[in-house]
């Protein structure tokens, strides 16, 4: 696989792209579904971001002192698992029975591909990718569980998909330096704690 393709695939999960797409998805849920579903989605997104922030801060400050191979769980993996999983659940709820499993399988394939690219780029090791994926899955359940149990109006997804496209085109390839910001925070949180 060429370095350009690896980089292009990993950029599908940068927070500079995923967070704006999540905001459009939340607005779409509000307009096409209900305020309650939009609220579940935003709560799950906040849980994903908070979980990853705490995991990253914990491992960045204490991982080496504890002898862990995990230094920084993959935010790309958690966000891709969360976003593509949420989008798959929305599509799954609307597709006819023989086709509905294509949505979660596609989301899973995308998340795994992004995880592999993180390892290939040397940004994370397999353990960090797995922890990021598990964090994404756990927080995704906050949205998916109530969403799949709920009744959904028969409104078309076309407006939502159309709204996602310009945001994707505008933000794809951008990078948010979240990891660098966390590295700067560590000495100020609890100076000297766990840092070797």
Q: What is the DSSP letter of 11?
A: G
Which pLDDT belongs to residue 196? 47
Please tell me which of 56-65, 68-77, 111-120 the model is most confident about, judged by mean pLDDT: 111-120
pLDDT at 64 over 80: no
The predicted pLDDT at position 150 comes to 84
- Please provide the DSSP assignment of 36-79 as one string: HHHHHHHHHHHHHHHHHHHHHHHHHHHTTTTT-S-SS--HHHHH
pTM (2 decimals)?
A: 0.89
Is residue 171 within 8 A of residue 113, CB to CB? The reply is no
pLDDT greater at residue 60 or residue 54: 54
| pLDDT reported for residue 21 | 97
Instruction: Tell me which of 193 and 71 has the higher pLDDT.
Output: 71
Range scoring the smallest mean pLDDT among 82-86, 91-95, 115-119, 184-188: 184-188
Q: What is the DSSP string of 121-177?
A: TTS--HHHHHHHHHHHHHHHHHHHHHHHHS------SHHHHHHHHHHHHHHTT----
Report whether pLDDT(109) > 50.
yes
% of the chain at pLDDT higher than 90: 61
Residue 130 makes CB contacts below 8 A (sequence gap 6+) with 115
């Amino acid at each position: 696989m060429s370095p350009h393709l690896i980089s292009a695939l990993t950029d599908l999960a940068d927070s500079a792209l995923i967070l704006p797409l999540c905001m459009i998805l939340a607005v779409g849920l509000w307009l096409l579904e209900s305020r309650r579903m939009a609220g579940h989605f935003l709560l799950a997104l906040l849980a994903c971001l908070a979980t990853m922030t705490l995991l990253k801060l914990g491992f960045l400050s204490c991982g080496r002192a504890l002898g862990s191979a995990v230094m920084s769980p993959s935010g790309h993996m958690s966000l891709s698992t969360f976003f593509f999983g949420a989008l798959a659940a929305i599509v799954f709820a609307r597709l006819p029975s023989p086709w509905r499993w294509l949505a979660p399988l596609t989301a899973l394939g995308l998340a795994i591909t992004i995880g592999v690219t993180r390892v290939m780029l040397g940004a994370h090791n397999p353990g960090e990718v797995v922890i990021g994926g598990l964090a994404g899955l756990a927080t995704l359940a906050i949205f998916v569980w109530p969403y799949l149990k709920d009744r959904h109006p028969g409104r078309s997804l076309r407006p939502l998909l159309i709204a996602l496209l310009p945001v994707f085109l505008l933000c794809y390839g951008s990078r948010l330096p979240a990891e660098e910001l966390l590295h700067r925070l560590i000495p100020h949180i609890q100076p000297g704690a766990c840092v070797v």
